[in-house]
Amino acid sequence: MADMEKEQIFSLIESYFRNKHLHQLVRHQIESYDNFVGSEIINTINMFNPVVIHSEHDYVPECKKYSLEIIINFKNFHIYRPQIHENNGATKLMFPSEARLRNFTYSSTMILNMHIKIINRYGQNLETEQTYHKMIPKVHIGKLPIMLRSSICVLTQHNHLNNKLTGECSLDPGGYFIISGSEKTCLGQERAAENIVYCFNIKKNNNKWSYMAEIKSVPSWKCISPKQISVMIANKDNGFGNSIYVQIPRIKNPIPLFILFRALGVNADKDICKRIILNIEDERYKKMLFALKASIIDANKHIKYEDALEFIISNAMFTPINMDKETGIQKKKEFTISVLENDLFPHCKTKQEKIYFLGYMVNKLLRTKFGWRKVDDRDSYKNKRVDLTGTLLNNLFRNYFNKLVKDMQKQIVREINNGSWKSTNDFENIINNTNIYKIVKSTTIENGIKRALATGDFGIKNTNSNKVGVAQVLNRLTYISSLSHLRRINTPIDKSGKLIPPRKLHNSAWGFICPSETPEGQSVGVVKNMSYLSHITVKSHSEILYNIIEPHVVKIDTLSPEELFDKVKVFINGNWIGITNKPYEFYHYLKDKKHKGIINIYTSIVFDYKSKEIIVCNEAGRPTRPVFKVKNNKTLFTDEIGKRVMENELEWDDMLSNHKVEESIIEYIDPWEQNTSLIAMNKTKMEDTLQNFTHCEIHPSTVLGILASCIPFPEHNQSPRVTYQCAQGKQALGMFVTNYENRMDKTAYVQHYSMRPLVDTRIMNFLNLHKVPSGEMVIVAIMSYSGYNQEDSIIFNQNSIDRGLFSATIYHTEKDEDKQVHGDEEIRCQPDPTKTKGMKFANYSKLNSKGVMPENSLIENKDIIIGKVVPIKEARNDQTKTIKYKDMSKIIRTNEECYVDKNYINRNGDGYTFAKVRTRVHRIPCIGDKFSSRHGQKGTIGITLPAESMPHTRTGLVPDIIINPHAIPSRMTIGQLKETSLGKVLLELGLFGDGTSFSSVDMNLISKELAKNNFHKYGNEVLQNGLTGEQMETDIFMGPAFYQRLKHMVKDKEHSRSIGPMVLLTRQPAEGRSRDGGLRFGEMERDCMISHGASQFTKDRIYNVSDKFQVYACKKCGMFAVFNDSKHIHMCKTCGNRSDFMLCKIPYSCKLLFQELITMNIAPRVISK
């Protein structure tokens, strides 16, 4: 790729991010939420209109009417801006920074108007009607958490304000929520796509069926749960072959195929076969016709429509309750007809469409069975959708609004039956301003959504769903880890499952999902991250598609099966609407509409010529990515347009339509379109080739995610090393936000001297990551020196550490909230020992009158950090008692030099006071701390040597760190060597270098520049040994590299104990550092000691210093005895023995096991020698 062309392409990518890089990274989250707030909520509420309510007491059986009926419509939904209601009555605008500090939920009030129509019927046959109309305005239905920087966020409405005024970080992207002061983000949830027919071979796991075609059908025009319809081929041969069955929701057993066709109104066998094969005279399909023979025989007892319907009715899941037999039969029939109308292919609008779609499904299944088409792939990205925040919240909102309506109906029926209106017979007073909030419970939606975001469980309460871990606390370790977290996708499968295919990197995910950024261990391949240019679509209206497509398509209802045969089918969102006689022209007509922006630019238009199908799709949740359009093997991104982009005449958005350019240059494609395209990697690949390319990649680096894009030269590293760096980049210390001084995070790490890397990538600059780097440039020598850098340990220069290399501050916040449990007001103060009981063995002297330490006070171990007392109720009015308070202070345990950084006392959302105390610790690197380069080369400090003991060059240059040469050959991280060599050149030239992936920086060029600047051409140096002063025999590779300090520090992990707390149940030492626990002596350690024959040591570990215990056992029956050693009383309750016993020394947990076995009726007996 020529340099000029490369610059033009990167200018284009820069224009995508320019001045809105943060919005572009999280726009999939924000657009999804805005769509939810702007249209989905209103659609959901309208779905429930009108709500009809009547009491069974008012039913008059003779007239089959209700004497009193209430009809409610919800209208004028509105959402306010977030406000703080102080307990002194004042209200003010809520800003996110205050919500974080004061533990508020950043949410807004939702209101709507209730239009009530009350119909009162009276007279002999209830023929006279009296109607009352009433409207209750601004009914509060709960609070909705607000996504930061969405359309209803305060920050968007006040975007002219300076960040200092709003208290926000200037680089904060938004796209998350604040729930009780904690930042929460929703991960995109992968799921199978709806309205697509999948065919599978299920012989392996199934004895009954051999092949299956399934579809999850859901209409785009109304919000209902997907209905799964399956068509199966039986394993069993009925003498004429394998018959076909259909499984429908709410029908117990699978229905024979021909019976279902007859129930849909197609009676004759020949007509049914025509609906499946379309042309039964065609020789090619004789095999398919023969395969239907078994199904014809299977249904020959139910020839008529009535017989077929009767058969399905007998299988319907309907239980008549409180009705006579005749009514029960009638209701069951109505139920079955409604199932066939609403649950069988609800995405098809007419009955005729349903009949043809069933035929299409059977046809596809038989073609799969005969091997005429491949079995579908569940793991292909074209068959997947990603549910974003908006979709997830809409599902929750729908369920909780449904609950609110059901509760409202019950409450209104109660009001009708025994409300106060009966005394005056004032019908308008059934629902009034006094009882409206008894009827409409505003907490239903509010608590439901808040609970889901707080716990991460998006399942409905009391139902066993696997929607756990959807919302997570936003990772604030490093700035880049926060960005990465907002672009994460999760597959909701069991992480401990042994299934391998869903975890594999599928070819169809190229360009949409980062191939490197995934966790190690059990979450590998289950948690994924989006590539940096990819986007996930939001729901758009289908009416426009129908309006544009229908005039050019022959509708399915108007044609006979023979006329449909061998024609190109047209599908919109899975619904087969008709055929086209000019497929090629029609396909290009649709593409042209997309390129001009007349239909949504994210619409997917696919011509699958093998299946003779044109598939148009604008569903939500499809991953899309931009590529260059190609005509005659030349991209439309010409040199002239490239220059206009570089001069800022053209923006990214101008490339998507033909307003400012002759023809749109960039097209967004989804995995299905990508599957039917031929995409060149770059322009040169299209030259001198006979292949006819349809698209060209903007740049190969666009396949990577945000974290992988920050690695210089990742294409020169072995694949797992890139994955390791993606994990370590999230753990590096840096500046996680620019306003960390004003935040009170649980734990926060800030590195003092973060440096911009010499070799960075273009993407880092586009995303402004060079402003908040997370590491430092150090001089690295790769050599063995003194044996203290074996096995990934690192030798550090102590003088560099003393000058501040990698030093950091760790902030930790202690929080203390008042709880209403105590009834009395809790008081924060310095407790008075003469009036307070339960005071701790700690130092209270540093507290001030507010119960906190003054800022910048030194904290020592066992200091009280927050002083608090609670009045004792009983002693309040009793003059004789001097002890009036109980101590509730918070003690701090530390083994470091720790200071109070900031105190914050205020009132929270419930009106109770709370105190937050932020402490700070200065951490200097020490032996055992973990570091890593940007190439997955992690290591811990093995020793720190003074500069005079380190090797040095003849000019006196001393390396900051020395790593072992064995780290390079087997790991093949050539990217690090290239970064170091280029860095050496850049230091001399005073420039920053470009390490963007696939940008082909030539190593020979770097070598020439090194030689030009009087270095060895490969960056080697002649070093003197700092210990002996001798010149080293070998040249050492040495140069600058970017290293990261990771959060794993010895100070946080060091732990030892002699005696300490025990677990009550097992009487063994407690577990874990925080509980001052013991060290685990596990199975492997035990086996190791046994193999050494160190039996006394083994006994000492697992008995003497753990749960030493002794019991008496009966010598006659071997069971444990009851004993009192001090009074010499021993007795066996099993056999009555009182004299013959033996002392058993066993661990206490062993005694527990024996007792557990006894409860299961198993008698473990101790037998003496």
573 alpha-carbon distance from chain centroid: 26
pLDDT in tens, 923-961: 999 999 999 999 999 999 999 999 999 999 999 999 999
Query: Residue 313 belongs to a domain with what CATH number?
Result: 3.90.1110.10
Contacts (Cβ under 8 Å, ≥6 apart) of 60: 66, 67, 126
> Could you say which of 346, 363, 398 is where a domain stops?
346
Most confident of 288-302, 411-425, 1059-1073: 1059-1073
> Could you say which of 346, 379, 403 is where a domain stops?
346
Summarize the confidence of residues 446-451 as an average pLDDT.
Answer: 93
Give residue 661's pLDDT band: very low, low, confident or very high (50, 70, 90).
confident
Residue 6 inside a domain? The answer is: no
Give residue 481's pLDDT band: very low, low, confident or very high (50, 70, 90).
very high
What is each CA distance from 636 to 12, 584, 628, 694, 791, in whole angstroms?
13, 22, 7, 11, 53
Q: Which residue has the tokens 């794993």?
A: 1048
- Which residues are identified as catalytic? 792
Contact predicate 279/285, CB 8 Å? yes
pLDDT of residue 130: 86
Query: Residue 1100 belongs to a domain with what CATH number?
Result: 3.90.1800.10
Residue 524 inside a domain? The answer is: no
Mean pLDDT of the chain: 91
- Does the pLDDT of residue 878 top 80, yes or no? no
Give residue 349's pLDDT band: very low, low, confident or very high (50, 70, 90).
confident
Percent of the chain with pLDDT over 90: 64
Residue 54 inside a domain? The answer is: yes
Summarize the confidence of residues 669-679 as an average pLDDT.
Answer: 95
Give the count of beta carbons closer than 10 Å to the beta carbon of residue 854.
Answer: 11
pLDDT in tens, 967-1026: 999 999 999 999 999 999 999 999 999 999 998 888 999 999 999 999 999 999 999 999
Number of domains the chain is built from: 7
Query: Residue 638 belongs to a domain with what CATH number?
Result: 3.90.1070.20
Q: Are residues 182 and 213 in the same domain?
A: no
Neighbouring-strand partners of residue 114: 74, 136
Give residue 438's pLDDT band: very low, low, confident or very high (50, 70, 90).
confident
Tell me which of 434-438, 580-584, 873-877, 886-890 is least confident.
Answer: 873-877
- Does the pLDDT of residue 848 top 60, yes or no? yes
What DSSP string describes 1116-1135?
TT-PBPEEEGGGTEEE-TTT
Summarize the confidence of residues 735-746 as an average pLDDT.
Answer: 93
The four Cα atoms 55, 61, 63, 66 give a dihedral, to 10 degrees, of: 0
The four Cα atoms 322, 327, 332, 336 give a dihedral, to 10 degrees, of: -140
What is each CA distance from 194 to 130, 228, 538, 856, in whole angstroms?
47, 9, 15, 59
Who has greater pLDDT, 450 or 420?
Answer: 450
Which residue range forms the structural domain that includes residue 1090?
Answer: 1055-1104
pLDDT of residue 880: 67
3-state secondary structure of 593: helix
pLDDT of residue 21: 83
Q: Which residue has the tokens 């002999």?
A: 124
3-state secondary structure of 83: strand
Q: Are residues 213 and 152 in the same domain?
A: no
Residue 579 inside a domain? The answer is: yes
Q: Where are the alpha helices (DSSP H) in 264-324?
A: 269-277, 286-291, 293-298, 305-314
pLDDT of residue 977: 96
- Does the pLDDT of residue 1 top 60, yes or no? no
pLDDT of residue 93: 92
Query: Residue 178 belongs to a domain with what CATH number?
Result: 3.90.1100.10
pLDDT of residue 1007: 94
Q: Are residues 336 and 222 in the same domain?
A: yes
Query: Residue 825 belongs to a domain with what CATH number?
Result: 2.40.50.150
Query: Residue 990 belongs to a domain with what CATH number?
Result: 2.40.270.10
pLDDT of residue 115: 93
Nearest to 562 by CA among 267, 271, 262: 271
pLDDT of residue 822: 58
Nearest to 670 by CA among 626, 614, 706: 626
Q: Are residues 86 and 119 in the same domain?
A: yes
pLDDT in tens, 276-329: 998 888 888 888 888 888 888 888 888 888 888 888 888 888 887 777 788 888
Ramachandran assignment for 710, one of left (phi > 0), alpha (psi -120 to 50 degrees), beta (any other): alpha
- Does the pLDDT of residue 264 top 70, yes or no? yes
Give residue 207's pLDDT band: very low, low, confident or very high (50, 70, 90).
confident
Neighbouring-strand partners of residue 571: 576, 615
Q: Are residues 1063 and 1019 in the same domain?
A: no
Give residue 821's pLDDT band: very low, low, confident or very high (50, 70, 90).
low
Q: Are residues 695 and 744 in the same domain?
A: no
Give the span between the Cα atoms of 1030 and 614, in whole angstroms. 77
Residue 955 inside a domain? The answer is: yes
Give the count of beta carbons closer than 10 Å to the beta carbon of residue 953.
Answer: 16
Q: Are residues 694 and 720 in the same domain?
A: no
Q: Are residues 424 and 299 in the same domain?
A: no
Query: Does pTM surpass 0.75?
Result: yes
Residue 60 inside a domain? The answer is: yes
pLDDT in tens, 620-636: 999 999 999 999 889 99
pLDDT in tens, 498-524: 889 999 999 999 999 999 999 998 899
- Does the pLDDT of residue 49 top 90, yes or no? no
Residue 964 inside a domain? The answer is: yes
Q: Are residues 1030 and 1067 in the same domain?
A: no
Residue 948 inside a domain? The answer is: yes
pLDDT of residue 462: 65
Q: Where are the alpha helices (DSSP H) in 419-501?
A: 436-439, 443-455, 479-486
Q: Are residues 895 and 841 in the same domain?
A: yes
Tell me which of 375-384, 489-498, 570-579 is least confident.
Answer: 489-498
Who has greater pLDDT, 569 or 279?
Answer: 569
pLDDT in tens, 234-255: 988 888 889 999 999 989 899 9
Q: Are residues 540 and 581 in the same domain?
A: yes
893 alpha-carbon distance from chain centroid: 35
Summarize the confidence of residues 896-903 as an average pLDDT.
Answer: 94
Give residue 782's pLDDT band: very low, low, confident or very high (50, 70, 90).
very high
Kindly report the length of the chain: 1169
Q: Are residues 164 and 29 in the same domain?
A: yes
Give the span between the Cα atoms of 963 and 972, in whole angstroms. 15
Contacts (Cβ under 8 Å, ≥6 apart) of 421: 415, 427, 429, 430
